[in-house]
Amino acid sequence: MRQVGRRHRWVLAGGLAVVLAGCSWSSKPISLPPVPTPEAASPSAVESSAPGVGAPGLGDPYFPTYGNGGYDVTTYDLKVTLGPAAGHLSGDATITATAKQDLTRFDLDLHGLTVDSVTVDGAAATFTRTGDELVVTPAGKLATGKSFATRVRYAGSPEANRDPQLGSTGFLSSKGVTFVAGEPESATSWFPVNDHPSDKARYSITITAPNADNVISNGVLQGKETTGGQTTWRWSESAPMAPYLVTFAAGDLRIAESTHNGKPVRLAVSESVPQGLVDTAIAKTTAICDYFEQYFGPYPFDAYGAIVIDDPSVGFSLETQTRPTYTAMMLQDGDLDGVVAHELAHQWFGDAVSVAQWKDIWLNEGFATYAQWMWLEHTGNVSVKDTFERLWSSKSSPLWTVPPGDPGNQRVFNNSVYSRGGMTLEALRLTVGDDAFFQILKTWVTDHKFGNGSTPQFIALAEKISGKDLDQLFQQWLYGKTRPDHP
């Protein structure tokens, strides 16, 4: 994710005298559920209350109610029909999971919408709704290790979330395009899900929309069929994906198709955006990926692409898997490739390798920021070293008071997570040398690809490859509350 305001700071740092007009967020009431306080962040808050009951949250230290305990999802088969009224959908989701404990009851996460029926392995199940929990009681006990399929049929008008920093998130519609984008949560707004990046799964995403709409989603288009006035588009993402990276866009989109390295490339832009700067920026997608491959290892996925939406209430761009979602204003204002490089770097760091807990968010944002600095240097702009030195030279920078390795659940998108996170990698590079540094990055992706990684695992890998004791370096850069020593 890259926020509008933050990109603005980065543009100034890059020496371009571009002033971004304030992003005008609407004054609609905020419907975002309150962020749990750190005091509530005890795993005990989400422990099972009885044997056989899956916990209503995974106990993430920052967001303990996110996700659910007791099972692990392997595949989502989502069938969503848009309409007939604007903003309305009907859904038919089959979630195949493996029980990690004996289960007599388990939860899925779903915000709003009306659930019509739930079956487990074809047998009717009873269900209740409590807040954003869909509580399912199957007809019989699910034994540990059993694979089971939960089918949920539902309908309604998804509610957009409002975040004071990010603007609108979730299931949104603007200028004739319906789309989904949001972090750390967005999936719950449109399908029943185990909504935490530690439970990655494969996805089939089938969207039915009026014939006039173009539809794009994650991964590879498997086919489309037209029946009467509607067309059904069948997409699949074969690599495991965290729920917040699942997306689609449908409506008035212009689409440029090609192939690169034998993989499909699909670039979709809201028709309301004038042809020009935006198309030029996202056309660099494959060149940027080819550049990153040299340093991070092979591009991890089976497809390339981009989705550009035109919604001034969205204050961020997001690394949705294989198809980053860009808000047009971030591409139209002078920063032609910075944000594209940032979201594409996330395909390695964030998407292929996902955080195990949200407190490790610097593993996504610090790495994507560092890669963005590398692209800037590669294209003849400021060097990574100069970027580092400029940021380090400020003794009273707010970066020094927020530890990027544990920023707190209200500050997961704080500038420190991005900039000081990126500086942490430059400090590592200056300490271990280029060869060891890039071997660490490549090995990190190889070791954790399609799974999750944690900060202690990254530190252990860096020490193993470099042969150096790096405790003090990481302690200062990730967890200290004063300016670290210059490496």
Query: CB-wise, 68 or 372, nearer to Zn ion?
Result: 372
Query: CB-wise, 1 or 353, nearer to Zn ion?
Result: 1
Q: What is the dihedral of CA 420, 421, 422, 428, to 10 degrees?
A: 100
Q: Which of 107-115, 364-372, 377-385, 394-402 is the region at the interface with Zn ion (rule: CB under 5 A)? A: 364-372
Q: Measured from the CB of residue 276, what is the shortest distance to Zn ion in angstroms?
A: 25
| Residue linked to tokens 């309305």 | 88
Q: Measured from the CB of residue 355, what is the shortest distance to Zn ion in angstroms?
A: 12
Q: Which of 132-140, 276-284, 359-367, 444-452 is the region at the interface with Zn ion (rule: CB under 5 A)? A: 359-367
Query: CB-wise, 337 or 365, nearer to Zn ion?
Result: 365
Query: CB-wise, 107 or 343, nearer to Zn ion?
Result: 343
Q: Binding marks (x or -) toward Zn ion, 318..357, rule CB under 5 A?
A: ----------------------------------------
Bridge partners for 266 per DSSP: 257, 305
Q: Measured from the CB of residue 2, what is the shortest distance to Zn ion in angstroms?
A: 5
- Six token digits for residue 366: 């610090």
Q: Which of 186-194, 201-209, 261-269, 361-369 is the region at the interface with Zn ion (rule: CB under 5 A)? A: 361-369
Q: Binding marks (x or -) toward Zn ion, 2..21, rule CB under 5 A?
A: x-------------------
Q: Is the dihedral of CA 478, 443, 342, 180 positive or negative?
A: negative
Query: CB-wise, 95 or 412, nearer to Zn ion?
Result: 412
Calculate the alpha carbon distances from 175 to 89, 253, 311, 400 in Å: 18, 10, 7, 41
Angle at 324 between CA 322 and CA 325, to 5 degrees: 140
Cβ contacts of 486 within 8 Å, gap of 6 or more: 392
Q: Measured from the CB of residue 126, what is the shortest distance to Zn ion in angstroms?
A: 41
Q: Measured from the CB of residue 177, what is the shortest distance to Zn ion in angstroms?
A: 22
Q: Measured from the CB of residue 36, what is the shortest distance to Zn ion in angstroms?
A: 23
Query: CB-wise, 1 or 118, nearer to Zn ion?
Result: 1
| Residue 14 Cα to chain centre, angstroms | 26
Q: Total residues contacting Zn ion (rule CB under 5 A)?
A: 4
Query: CB-wise, 135 or 352, nearer to Zn ion?
Result: 352
Side-chain-side CA neighbours of residue 30 (13 Å): 11
473 belongs to the binding site for Zn ion (CB under 5 A): no
Query: CB-wise, 1 or 374, nearer to Zn ion?
Result: 1
Q: Measured from the CB of residue 112, what is the shortest distance to Zn ion in angstroms?
A: 27
Q: Measured from the CB of residue 365, what is the shortest distance to Zn ion in angstroms?
A: 5
Q: In the complex, which residue's CB is closest to Zn ion?
A: 1
Query: CB-wise, 2 or 234, nearer to Zn ion?
Result: 2
Q: Which of 11-19, 159-167, 297-305, 367-375 is the region at the interface with Zn ion (rule: CB under 5 A)? A: 367-375
Q: Which of 363-371, 393-401, 430-438, 461-469 is the region at the interface with Zn ion (rule: CB under 5 A)? A: 363-371
- Separation CA 345–CA 362 (nearest Å): 13
- Separation CA 117–CA 115 (nearest Å): 6
Q: Measured from the CB of residue 314, what is the shortest distance to Zn ion in angstroms?
A: 14
Secondary structure (DSSP) of 122-147: TEE-EEEEETTEEEEE-SSPBPTT-E
Query: CB-wise, 134 or 368, nearer to Zn ion?
Result: 368
Q: Measured from the CB of residue 342, what is the shortest distance to Zn ion in angstroms?
A: 5
Amino acid at 341: A
Query: CB-wise, 214 or 415, nearer to Zn ion?
Result: 415
Q: How many CB atoms lie within 10 A of CB 324?
A: 29
1 belongs to the binding site for Zn ion (CB under 5 A): yes
Q: Which of 98-106, 368-376, 405-413, 460-468 is the region at the interface with Zn ion (rule: CB under 5 A)? A: 368-376
- Separation CA 367–CA 365 (nearest Å): 5
Query: CB-wise, 62 or 191, nearer to Zn ion?
Result: 62
- Six token digits for residue 459: 């530190």
Binder of Zn ion out of 239, 368, 432, 473 (CB under 5 A): 368
Query: CB-wise, 106 or 367, nearer to Zn ion?
Result: 367
- Separation CA 429–CA 377 (nearest Å): 16
55 belongs to the binding site for Zn ion (CB under 5 A): no
Please give the helix or strand (H or E) that residue 461 lies within, else none. Answer: helix 455-466
Q: How many CB atoms lie within 10 A of CB 278?
A: 23
Q: Measured from the CB of residue 350, what is the shortest distance to Zn ion in angstroms?
A: 7
The residue length of the chain stands at: 487
Q: Measured from the CB of residue 439, what is the shortest distance to Zn ion in angstroms?
A: 24
Instruction: Indicate the DSSP class of residue 476.
Output: I
Secondary structure (DSSP) of 425-455: HHHHHHHH-HHHHHHHHHHHHHHHTTEEE-H
- Separation CA 296–CA 206 (nearest Å): 32
Instruction: Indicate the DSSP class of residue 149.
Output: E
Q: Measured from the CB of residue 345, what is the shortest distance to Zn ion in angstroms?
A: 8
80 close to 206: Cβ distance less than 8 angstroms = yes
Amino acid at 232: T
Please list the alpha-helical segments (H only) found in 297-383.
Answer: 328-331, 338-345, 362-378
Which positions touch Zn ion (CB under 5 A)?
1-2, 365, 368
